Amino acid sequence: MVFTFPFCSPEVNSISGGPIYIGSQGHDVLVVTARHTESLKGSVSAPGSETIQGTEFFRPYSHAKDLTWRPQVCWLDVQKKVIEHNPHVVIGFGEPFYRLPLRISRYFNIPLVMFFEYLRPEKFSLPIRGSGKIKTVFPGFYRRCSRLFRRYLLKQCSAIMFSYYGDRPLIPALKAICQAVHYVPWCTEMRDVSSTVKRNRNVGIYIGSLTAFKNAAELVENIPIILEHTETEQFIVVGPGEFAPQVRQLSEKYKPKIKYIESLSRPEAMRLLRSTGYGYTPVTDSGLGFIGDCWGSETPLITSHRLDGFLRKDVDTLIADSAHELPHVINSLLVSDDLFECMQRGGKQRYESDHSAQAVGGKYLKILQKVIQLGSEA
C-alpha cells in the first residue's frame, strides 16, 4: 500500500505512526512525501529516503508545496518507485493534497482512500491558492464550492476516513456518494519521550498555532486570568500565528510568568509537555493533536469547550464552562493529588484505546484490507 502526505516524518508528524505501525506488522508500506516544509515545528527537513520499522519513506519532492501543487515534477520518480512496490491501494492525506494520490490511483488502476480531518463544507479545504481569503470574504460561496469539490473527490474514492468526532452525523448523507465512510481518531503517537522527566505541577502549557482557527483570541484573554487567579507559577505558549504579537506583549507584562516559544521540534515539545502540570486549550473544534499529546504524555488536560461531546468530562478532561469557572477548575487540579492522578489515568487510557499508533494503525489496516478485498472481487 502507498500513503501520500505533503510532508511526513516521525520527528515532526505524530500521524506518521499509523503507516509505521502497519509496516511493523509485516505489510509492504511505501510513504511518498517531500523532504522539506515549514510548520508549527519551524522549518524542517527529512532524508530523501529512509526505512522505519519496515515502512519505507520516499521523498522525491523538494518541498511539500511541490507535491501539493505540482506533483508532476517528480512523477517519473514516483512512478518507478510505485511499480517496485506493486501496491493494491493508495491513501491520500488531506483534501488539498489530492492530486498525487488521485494520479497514482488512476495510472495504476488501484483503489483510492482519502483521509480528511473534517467533512463539513465550511472546513473542507478547497485545493486552490487563496481559498482562506475566499472563505473569509464570501463564506456562502465558499461552502457551495467546497460542497461541490467534496462530492467530486468522494466519488473518486473507494473509502474515506475522517478524524473530527463532531462530523460523525454527516456519515449517512455522505454514504450516498461513497459507501465506505469511517471515523478514525487522529494519531498522536508518543515516540521515545522519557517518562522520567521531572514534572512541575504548577506550570501550564499550550502547544499549537496561534490562529483564529484554534481560537487563540480566547487563549490571549484567559492567560491573565490563569496567572492572576490560580496557583500557576508559569504558563508556556508554543506556536506561531497571527496572535503571536499579543502573546509576546503578555510575556513582557507578566515576565517571567509567561514563556513564549515560537517553534520546537516534536521531541523537544513532548519533553516540555511532560515537564508541566497541565495542558490548557481553548479550541472549539480542532487541536486534536495537542489534546492527544496531553493524554499520551499523562499531562492532565483542561479545556474551555466540549468539542461536540468528544471530551469525557472528569474522565479524561477537566472542562471549564466559562472563563469565570476556569480558575476553579485549574486550582482544583493543582491542590488534589487524587484528581491529578485520576486525570492522568483517564487520559492515558483514552490515548491507548483511540490515539496511539497501534490503535489508529489497526483501524487503518482493517479499512484498507476490506477495500483491497472488494477491489479484488470486482
C-alpha distances (whole Å) from 94 to each of 100, 165, 365 are 11, 16, 18
Any bridge partners for residue 245, and if so which?
none
Q: Is the pLDDT reported for residue 193 higher than 80?
A: no
Q: How confident is the model at residue 374 (pLDDT cuts 50, 70, 90)?
A: confident
- In angstroms, the CA 9 to CA 31 distance is 10
Q: What number of residues does the chain have?
A: 378
Q: How confident is the model at residue 203 (pLDDT cuts 50, 70, 90)?
A: very high
Q: Is the pLDDT reported for residue 326 higher than 90?
A: yes
**Who has greater pLDDT, 196 or 195?**
196
Amino acid identity, position 116 = F
Tens of pLDDT, residue by residue over 46-80, are 999 999 999 999 999 999 999 999 999 999 999 99
- In angstroms, the CA 124 to CA 145 distance is 10
What structural domains does the chain harbor?
2-189+356-377 (3.40.50.2000), 200-355 (3.40.50.2000)
- In angstroms, the CA 368 to CA 21 distance is 14
Residue 216 near residue 286 (C-beta atoms within 8 A): no
User: Per the structure block, which three cell numbers stand in for 293?
Assistant: 499529546
Q: Is the pLDDT reported for residue 132 higher than 70?
A: yes
> Does the model's pTM come out above 0.75?
yes
Q: How confident is the model at residue 41 (pLDDT cuts 50, 70, 90)?
A: low
What torsion do the CA atoms of 232, 237, 243, 245 make, to the nearest 10 degrees? 90
Report the pLDDT value the prediction gives residue 135, as an integer from 0 to 100. 87
